[in-house]
A and B are shown apart, each in its own frame.
Chain A
Amino acid sequence: MSPKARLAEASKARTAKGAAARKRGPVKKTASAGKAPRPAKAVVAAPSTLHEFMTRALMMELEAAQRYTEFADAMETHNNLEVAALFRKMAGIEGKHAEQIMAEMGWTAVPGPRPGIVFWEGFEAPETTPGDEVHYLMQPYHALELALANERRAERFFGELARATTTAAVRKAARELQAEEREHVELIRAWMKKVPKPEADWANDPDPPVYTD
């Protein structure tokens, strides 16, 4: 079970248990729990030039690297060194992809009118793990699950762009990057076979930080 699903289940169980124990009737849904999911979409046009397209591809790699680095730092701070090392490795891989794009395009600095800022069709780039999908006790298998989801989203993203663009050069580059992402998906799948699957009770902490259960 993923860290996210595990936590959602634990939260649900905790709420139900607390309500039953106190016999105060059913717990009302909170403001957040009662809302229907709503997609966060901004309209982003398909890039019309190779420069624009490669800028997006570069930012995707840089943002993914930055998030993996944040996760690695967080895991180190919380003494989950095995997962920290894995996230650090992922950050390195994404950083190398960014360097490759820079070299291919002959760029010496991140281009764009606002370097470092690109708006995506969701809140974040397709290859970036949402910041809340980690857990301090997560295991390497979980980290690889997150990486696999990122690579699959990236593959889908480039495929959709290749279909949407009207520029031949962009289509060709998008197809190449889609093929690379597909390779990454396979590499991560192979990697996951070498890593033990977590036990069901992987998130059990004999000294938990939570005082509310």
Chain B
Amino acid sequence: MNEVATRAPLTAQSYKSNYKPIWCPGCGDYTVLSSVTKALAMVQVPPEDVVVVSGIGCSSRIPAYTTCYGFHGVHGRALAAATGLKVARPDLTVIVAGGDGDGYSIGGNHFLHACRRNVDLTYIVMDNHVYGMTKGQPSPTTEPDWDSKLSPGGTGVRSFHPLVIALASGANFVARAFSGDPNGTAAIIAQAIRHPGFSFVEVLSPCVTFRPDQREWKQMAHPAPVTPTDDPARAARRIMTDDGFNIGVLYAGDRKPYATIPGKPKATVADLEAEFEQ
């Protein structure tokens, strides 16, 4: 019997570190953290076999709040780091987390190609439609008419539609969740982790400081009245025509994930060092 089979069942608490989050009271990211730890308990993968990789932003602090391995990377480059990690260590469960600015603007190009490559990653974006850490600039998902001191009268620029872009770029699992629904979000994240290939979970996570109007989201979010489809055309139509508050798994494809070759690396660390010294 292996070690995992003999140890006590892991609970959400097993994945929580002793560091206290410094997010604003009321921030949606608290419940996303809780959902991630619940999802990991549902999957029962030991913390030492999980890596949480993030970029920069309020939500990107999340690796420190877990007992998993963590990598708090460069702005927008979380997916690049995670791709390298998963290809080198396919035995690990790799979760990538960040915000809408980090993922769709600074890291927008990496987002497209991570979907296209379909490496077995779970990408959780805590989307609050604003750059919160830098005090409220519009992000790619901000509504064009959001009026603020930093965008008087609104930007007038069309919002980025992450779900349909993920689908068109080749993501194998596309879901929308809401931070005000922690148990539902946990179930979706667990499903995303189990699904092979690149799984994308967009979590609507209100920023109560710079977007207090987003408190209304809890009246607007609702379960998607559909079952997941593996037909990209149907999923695209569904995502393009919904109200933006449909919660659930909207697409679950069967595309083969990027194949990694298990086994020992051909070069040793010493070989690589020698190459750099040349």
Contact = CB atoms under 8 A, between A and B. Distances in A.
Interface in B144-180: 145-150, 152-154, 178-180
B105 interface: no
B135 A70 contact: no
Nearest to A22: B152
Interface residues on B, range: 35 or more
Given A70-B34, A131-B180, A136 B24 contact: yes
Chain A interface size range: 35 or more
Nearest to A209: B209
B239 interface: no
B37 to A, nearest CB: 9
Interface stretch (B66-74, B90-98, B115-123, B220-228): B220-228
Contacts of B154: 27-28
A208 to B, nearest CB: 9
Contacts of B84: none
A135 B218 contact: no
A204 interface: no
Contacts of A99: none
A114 B40 CA distance: 12
B216 A124 contact: no
Nearest to A30: B143
A75 interface: yes
Interface string A12-32: 000100110010100111111
Contacts of B217: 32
B180 A124 contact: yes
Contact of B148 (A18, A78, A115): A18
Interface in A1-21: 4, 7-8, 10-11, 15, 18-19
A156 B199 CA distance: 39
Interface in A134-148: 134-136, 138
Interface string B185-198: 01100000000000
A8 B206 CA distance: 14
Contacts of B244: 31
A207 interface: no
B148 A7 contact: no
Nearest to A27: B147
B36 to A, nearest CB: 13
B230 interface: no
B207 to A, nearest CB: 10
Interface in B1-36: 9, 11-12, 20-28, 30-31, 34
B41 A40 contact: no
Interface in B242-260: 243-245, 247
Given A30-B143, A37-B220, A76-B20, A116 B25 contact: no
Interface in A44-84: 66, 70-71, 73-78, 80
A193 interface: no
A18 B149 contact: yes
A190 interface: no
B184 interface: yes
A31 B146 CA distance: 9
Interface of A: 4, 7-8, 10-11, 15, 18-19, 22, 24, 27-33, 35, 37-42, 66, 70-71, 73-78, 80, 110, 114-120, 123-124, 130-136, 138, 209-213
The 8 closest A-B CB pairs, nearest first, are A37-B219, A123-B181, A74-B25, A212-B148, A11-B212, A211-B135, A28-B145, A24-B153
